[in-house]
Structure 1
Amino acid sequence: MRDQIKRLTQLLRASAFSTGALLCLTFTPPALSASQQQLDGVKQEISRQQNQLSSKQKKINTLQQSLKQQELAIAATAKKIHQAEATVRTLARSIQALQQEQQALLQQQLGQQEMLKELLNTHYRQGKSSQLATLLSGMDQDRLDRMTVYAERLSQARAHTLDDLAATKTELQLKTHQLSQQRQQQQDLLAQLTDEKRRLEREQQQRQKTVRTIKGQLKSDTRYLSELKNNEKRLVAEIAKAKAAAEAARRVAMNGLAGQKGKLPWPVKGTIRHRYGSPLQGELRWKGMVISKPKGSQVNAIYGGKVVFADWLRGYGLMVAIDHGKGYMSFYGYNQTLLKKVGDTVQPSEAIALVGDSGGQETSALYFEIRRKGTALDPQSWLTR
């Protein structure tokens, strides 16, 4: 459409020249009127097409805003699912431990019951002859004293065993109650997970419709190229902001990535879909790399540092930027959800996000960049072979 406007503008200029020539050569009112009508028509066409361009750009911007809101909603739901799944795993381990404790208590209870039976049996056998009968039997005093002490100790042991058995029974009841509560909590969480996953599916379907509409609006190569250029400008602007914020808020010394080339772990392990420097569109080339990975996979920081950007960025979706110091920064885009926020300190290989397809991508992958003082570097050369 811009080419059409250009041609119409040239026609307008030619028409204006023709009108000037006509005014010099002739004063015929009908000819002047026809040229003026032609000029007015060209001006109206230019205005119409410019308005159409402006309207389409507004529509794209509105769609991108809708996409942002949908992908942020997906991110929130995906984060809830991630946290719920982690809680379910913790509960499963806790339930297993409680079951083992419960079994140990049951065995302990059985042992105490057997001991109590033995003590009662012994006490019963001893009780067949009373102290009076023993006294009248002519038993010497020393032996009588020993029998009395034995009887007292036997009675104490029985009382102690009864106390232990009561305590075991109480503890067993408590463990059974805890186990029941945690199983109920686990069931509730699993039901919540099912609901959240259904919601996630609905949100993703709505997002796909928006992505298809945006693709339709950007079907022109020139328009798509313009969008990609603008995306790059947005990223550069955010890098500048993040760098300024990092410098202003830096509290810990960070040594950058110097000396780490070829030694850093991969943020995700997967197939490389696009490499650094490969053609993107027209004269544009990839400033980072795109690694294919299933949705929901964990994204890890390549090195320690501080999170300086964690938000949705047009063209890159949900992105995390980590400042490693000395001008080095790493970027992780297209995520389904973010696990870190601005200001968080991260350790090497720590989980920072989950792989997704945000930013209007058609398939799930991770967009990964490394920059030094704003200049993009080949990220693959920094990763382990």
Structure 2
Amino acid sequence: MRFPKKKLASGVFLCALALGLAAPVVTTAAPAKPTERSRQKAAAEAKRAGIQQKLTALKKEISRTESEKEDVADTLAESEEAISNANRALRDLAQEQLDTNLRLQDLGSEQERLALTIISQKKQLSALLREHYVAGNEDRIKLLLSGDNPNRINRDLQMMAYVSQAQAKLLASLNANLAQVEENRAKVENAKVELEEIAGEQRDQKAVLEKEKLRRAALLNDLSSKLVTQRKQVDSLQRDEQRMSGLVDQLTRLIREQAEAERKRQEALAAARAKAAAQAAAEEKARALARAAAKAERDRLAKEAAKAGKPPPKPLPEEPRVAETPKPALEERTPDISLAPAAPKGAFAAMRGRLSAPVSGTIAARFGAKRGGDGPSWKGMFIKAPEGTEVRAVAVGRVVHSGWMRGFGNLIIIDHGGDYLSIYANNQTLLKRLGDAVRAGEPIASAGNTGGNEESGLYFELRHLGKAFDPASWVKF
């Protein structure tokens, strides 16, 4: 059986095209580049730096007002902060590892689905090419000039068009799936690199953690007698309380200032938008009036020409567009890290008596009781709990302090709006960073005995307008 040369060439070309699509795509090794995870981490740290500078300055200001000699517990500060940071980093890395592995599983499933789809599409394309080759694919021009029945010609042309469309769609879909396979491969490679990064960071953090634990144990052994003596000093306890009150007052002021600045910014933004909208409406109205006047003039000229028996005049040039006044640049920036609460005003007060306990343990000291028999009164509650026990936020809010503080160790403070703050001290690890929004019951720290405390547990306070109040009637212990 002989085939026309044109037909044979066409079939060979399409077969070559199919074979080209079926061939595996060869990729060359690209130079190493930062992963998406690395870029996101760098952006998050840069964003966090702004407000951190303010709080660092605030801490220095509080320290300058103190006249006492250095506290023995300060020797532990660097080590306890390092242990907290290492534990938090390990927890974050474990979560990242889990998320990345889940992403890899999803990508693997998607890759399998695409592979099956591509195999099916290649089979369809091969069948179409084979039928195309056998049928000969009559040329459209030749068909039109054949002098055959017009109805048959029309039907054949339509059939040819349908076949061409089907082939084009199949080729486009196959190319899209092949491109998606390559994109998935790149994502898989990126995820594998991220897992290697995470594993490396975990090894580093574990080494830091073990080193700092040994260092802290040695320091505690050397300082134990001094710490016991200093804990019994009434003036030391009073200074700790004054330090906490000073920090709370400064935080309250900072939160109010930022909230007021944000309120004014939003008002200015709303006013600028309203002005821009009014200006745009006025300009549109002016353009509409100009268009109406131009149309009326054209109609008048056309009527006059018709009465005079003359051809209608050429259209007048369009009226010049009313120049648009440049719109003011509206500031849409997000604050570095907002200290505004993550809950509306009044939400915390409405939860009175229904707040969950911050930690599971035994209450060892209650609000108002004397410390050490004749010392100052407790401004909060101390709850005994094993080291590492999860500490949870009592309500929705935003972290406004996360760091080490003399007398309180690793300390975290959450703003709940309406001038309500909750305070969690003596933690082993701080799991949340400055500016993080937290949900009620979300883990924010783990219990410990930092800051020179004798027992492991959590020191917990509630404050309103800077003043401590009894948590017993608010929290379900």
CA contact (8 A) 2:363 2:381 kept: no
The answer for the alignment partner of 1:77 in structure 2 is 86
Q: Give the CA deviation at 1:332.
A: 0.6
Change (3 A) 1:91 1:132: closer
Structure 1 partner of 2:354: 263
Q: Is the 8 A contact 1:255 1:324 kept in 2?
A: no
Of 219, 225, 233, the residue aligned with 2:232 is 225
Q: Number of aligned pairs?
A: 318
1:122 aligns with 2:122: no
Partner residue, 1:274:
364
Question: Structure 2: where are the runs of 5+ without partners?
Answer: 1-68, 261-343
Q: In 2 relative to 1, CA 369–177 (structure 1 residues): closer, same or farther, beyond 3 Å?
A: same
Alpha-carbon distance in 2 for matches of 1:154, 1:169: 22
Q: Is the 8 A contact 2:72 2:223 kept in 1?
A: yes
**CA distance in structure 1 between the aligned counterparts of 2:385 and 2:418, rounded to whole angstroms:** 30
Once superposed, what is the RMSD of the aligned Cα atoms?
A: 3.9
Show CA shifts across 1:192-238 (max 9, x none): 1122122112111211221222213345xx65411x65134322333
Shift of 1:81: 2.6
Partner of 2:332: none
Larger Rg: 1
Q: 1:379 to 1:131 in 2, by over 3 A?
A: closer
Query: Relative to structure 1, is the Cα distance of residues 158 and 215 closer, same or farther in structure 2, using a 3 angstrom cutoff?
Result: same
The question of 1:98 aligning with 2:102 is answered: no
Alignment of 1:191-202 (within 5 A): 191-202=200-211
Q: Counterparts in 2 of 1:59-78, with a 5 A limit?
A: 61=70, 63-78=72-87
1:235–1:313 contact (8 Å) kept in structure 2: no
Matched to 1:239, the amino acid is S
User: Superposed, which structure 2 residues align to 1:174-185 within 5 Å?
Assistant: 174-185=183-194
Contact 1:312 1:319 in 2 (8 A): yes
Q: 1:280-313 CA deviation, whole Å, 9 max, x = no partner?
A: 5343465412252552735325354673x44322
Return closer, same or farther for 1:113/1:296 CA change in 2, 3 Å cut-off.
farther
2:406 partner amino acid: R
Counterparts of 1:1-385 in structure 2, within 5 Å, are 61=70, 63-127=72-136, 140=149, 142-219=151-228, 223-226=230-233, 230-247=236-253, 249-250=255-256, 251=259, 254-255=345-346, 258=349, 260-268=351-359, 270-276=360-366, 281-284=372-375, 286=378, 287-292=380-385, 295=388, 297=390, 299-304=392-397, 307=400, 309-324=401-416, 328-335=420-427, 336-337=429-430, 339-341=432-434, 344=435, 346=437, 349=440, 353-357=444-448, 358-361=450-453, 364-372=456-464, 376-384=468-476
AA in 1 matched with 2:403: D
1:283 is paired with a residue whose SS is coil
Structure 1 letter corresponding to 2:131: T
Give the CA deviation at 1:189: 0.6
Structure 2 vs 1, CA of residues 132 and 86 (structure 1 numbering), >3 Å: closer, same or farther? closer
**TM-score of the superposed pair, with normalisation by structure 1:** 0.68
Instruction: Give the direction of change, closer, same or farther, for the CA distance of 1:145–1:348 in structure 2 (3 Å limit).
Output: closer
Once the 2 structures are TM-superposed, how far is the Cα of residue 67 of structure 1 from its aligned partner? 0.4
Deviations 1:129-155 (A, max 9, x none): 9999999x9975533553354245324
| 295-304 or 258-267: bigger deviation | 295-304
Gapped regions of structure 1 (runs ≥ 5): 1-59
Going from structure 1 to structure 2, the CA distance change for 1:134 and 1:329 (only over 3 Å counts) comes to closer
What SS does the corresponding residue of 2:476 show, helix, strand or coil?
Answer: coil
| Whole-angstrom distance in 2 between the partners of 1:130 and 1:348 | 70
Secondary structure of the 2:407 match is coil
**TM-score if structure 2 supplies the norm length?**
0.56
Q: Which amino acid aligns with 2:245?
A: I
Q: Any conservation in 1 of the 2:230–2:236 contact (CA below 8 Å)?
A: no
Contact 1:319 1:332 survives alignment (8 Å): yes
Partner-residue secondary structure (3-state), 2:403: strand
| Counterpart contact for 1:288–1:370, Cα < 8 Å | no
